[in-house]
Amino acid sequence: MSNTNNILILVARILLSFMFIFSGFGKLTDPAGTAGMIAGAGMPAATLLTYVAGLFELVTGICVLVGFQTRIVGYALAAFCVFTGVVFHLSPVNVPDFPAAANGWINGLNFVNFLKNVTLAGAYIMLATNGPGLYSIDARRGSYSVAA
In the chain, the amino acid numbered 54 is G
- According to the model, what pLDDT value does residue 117 have? 97
- According to the model, what pLDDT value does residue 2 have? 87
- According to the model, what pLDDT value does residue 40 have? 84
Q: Select from 8, 10, 15, 23 the least CA-distant residue to 88.
A: 23
- According to the model, what pLDDT value does residue 148 have? 43
Distance CA 17, CA 4 (A): 20
Q: Which residue has the higher pLDDT, 83 or 148?
A: 83
- According to the model, what pLDDT value does residue 146 have? 56
CA dihedral 85, 88, 93, 98 (to 10 degrees): -110
pTM across the whole model: 0.90
User: Per-residue pLDDT for 41 more than 90?
Assistant: no
- According to the model, what pLDDT value does residue 123 have? 98
